[in-house]
Structure 1
């Protein structure tokens, strides 16, 4: 072919001239390029392939390429060689260099078709050493990260354990201090009562009795707060309209905080219901308002607000809660506020910023435990000098809510009629004695049992039992709930009153007791226990009369 140059001169351009640039390009590329016969014999290789094999080009050309492979890779290469006649094939091999070092490579091979000429195979070998090295480095880095993560987790766990032990130490110290004070009041009052009665001076007995009862009630309140903090209190959840609950408490809260503080209630219309223990929620709300009052010694404003909150995954993760629909009850004050280091500790038991003797430090920890046990959360926002907002989040309840305000007053129920019998099962003799005395005062026949085995033996007999009063935690292999369930196999209409000082919620059905069952928390007032027993006995009688009528 004749070509014309820029100045009009003419040149003869042969096929050899056309191939030369491609040959130069092939010699300069960083991959090993080669041409093979159909049996794998190397007909041509560039300098880079010779370097990869660790041998000069003239020694490589004329030899089968499979002779430069490790024995295990030869069958793989032969399969690729055969498949190349149908199209491009690729695979990974390891070249056996003359110095004995294996070189990982990626093979790309295809057939070069030429008319009326024996077909050839052309291919490229790419060095994978750097890639493999990089992968090893990544694997090593990943191993180091895993090791560092495990070490960090170990250190964090040690730190959490140390913080937990510090909290336990603070808890036990505060608990011992408060209970020692209460026990001193109780034991001292009882000793003085005994002394005055021996001296025949009965005028002071009532005063000491009142002091002992007051101290015992404060001790009961303290244990309830501790159980609330540890999320182990016995809850009695009910579908609750929080707007109505707040409205019903507004007057009492105003009297509690005093006239210098304005109470403002902002209740969202269409507020969702929630399944919660209303009495515990009232206690939590009152505690928050008292804390708000104490943060405003010169007066101010407390805003109690309810709202519906729908938390998506991101918002729920930020609030450390499952995503979903919640009712939020918030108390906001215009008080002194709290710095971040105080906010970080407000839920610790016995931690308080109030002066010595003016606070137990259990208020917020109790509220936190109650909210978590109810399936919710507590969140605090505060700025120094501007005020604080504490929000209790409670899961939405989709069921119906009783529209009646408050609880119906306990009616004066008739005393026992002849033949009504109550079985009392408790492993504490003093509690059994107290319950039997209450029952006998009401005219009932009482049967005692000290454990679940003795109790179940009575329940499986032919003795008439109108009400079972049982502790939840019992010796004998079964707890109170298990004993009651076993008894209901043969006595399906048996009324059961659980009494407990501490119970796992799961034991009593997480607050969802079966019909005809109720629960009362120790310590209890005698009149409360008497009213509960009478109401359940009467309900049993009504049920029986209805059944007889049918």
Structure 2
């Protein structure tokens, strides 16, 4: 009788984290971003309606003004109902943590980026020691893909990916991936808003401004954090930190 094939390593899904799973996680995060934006829009709608209703009392003797204000209130309430329906379709993103080697996932993301953009340089780092973390591997891959796809927009021609373990006492225990590019960098004003939903410096039609926001939500769902720095001399470095210890599954909340 033929022997059963060996089981995959329990702490590594790198080869088995399917494209469909990664895409599903990405779409769920996009829905969450939309829900958060919808929540903010409804706050604005409420203020518009409140101000319009107050103004109605002040112009009660002017039928034309009252009609225009009532139309404004009706249209705004309709917009609020649409946003509420969209919010209802977007649930929270719950992470499914497990232990895996962050260095292996970072290398897989680097190789995929190199395949997508052969015109750019993605030098392979020397093999890193295993960097064990406990997180949702598919969400981490979503975050890394988003950061790597964002890097060339600042004129980068060389994008480096490195990984290191963080010992206890230095923010750790955990591990971090650093994506560093040689582009023009970001101004302090742009850097301050880099993770905002739908913030972009691209011309209309060339981007929605959700790449780094997607990375932020994915990392937050894994109980990690993401930071960006862009020194005056140029270049940008994005750091993704993930914990080594398992905790309660996290949610990106509105």
Q: TM-score range by the shorter chain?
A: 0.5 to 0.7
Higher relative contact order (CA 8 A, sep 6+): 2
Aligned to 2:167: 310
Gap regions ≥5 residues in structure 2: 1-22, 37-91, 247-254
Q: Which of 290, 295, 312 is the aligned partner of 2:154?
A: 295
Aligned to 1:241: 101
Q: Distance in 1 between matches of 2:127 and 2:24?
A: 38
Equivalent residue runs for 1:278-289 within 5 Å: 278-289=137-148
Alpha-carbon displacement from aligned partner over 1:330-381 (angstroms, at most 9, x marks no partner): 1000001011111111111111122212222111112112212211111111
Aligned 8 A contact 2:26 2:214 in 1: no
Aligned 8 A contact 1:349 1:365 in 2: yes
Q: Distance in 1 between matches of 2:140 and 2:99?
A: 12
Aligned to 1:252: 112
Q: Does 1:355 align with 2:214?
A: no
TM-score by length of 2: 0.58
Q: Does 1:225 align with 2:30?
A: yes
Aligned to 1:277: 136
Q: Distance in 2 between matches of 1:384 and 1:358?
A: 26
Aligned 8 A contact 1:229 1:365 in 2: no
Gap regions ≥5 residues in structure 1: 1-217, 313-321, 399-550
Aligned to 1:264: 123
Greater fraction strand:
1
**Aligned-residue CA RMSD (Å):** 2.9
Q: Distance in 1 between matches of 2:154 and 2:217?
A: 22
Aligned 8 A contact 1:327 1:395 in 2: yes
Aligned 8 A contact 2:25 2:138 in 1: no
Q: Distance in 2 between matches of 1:230 and 1:396?
A: 30
Equivalent residue runs for 1:135-214 within 5 Å: none
Aligned to 2:229: 381
Q: Does 1:392 align with 2:251?
A: no
Q: Distance in 2 between matches of 1:238 and 1:220?
A: 15
Aligned 8 A contact 1:237 1:276 in 2: yes
4+ residue runs over 6 A deviation: 228-231
Alpha-carbon displacement from aligned partner over 1:11-51 (angstroms, at most 9, x marks no partner): xxxxxxxxxxxxxxxxxxxxxxxxxxxxxxxxxxxxxxxxx
User: How far 1:281 moved relative to its partner?
Assistant: 1.4
- Partner SS, residue 165 of structure 2: strand
Q: Distance in 2 between matches of 1:305 and 1:372?
A: 20
User: How far 1:230 moved relative to its partner?
Assistant: 7.7
Aligned length: 169
User: How far 1:311 moved relative to its partner?
Assistant: 6.3
Q: Distance in 1 between matches of 2:148 and 2:125?
A: 15
Q: Distance in 1 between matches of 2:133 and 2:168?
A: 16
Q: Distance in 2 between matches of 1:366 and 1:229?
A: 11
Q: Distance in 2 between matches of 1:332 and 1:291?
A: 11
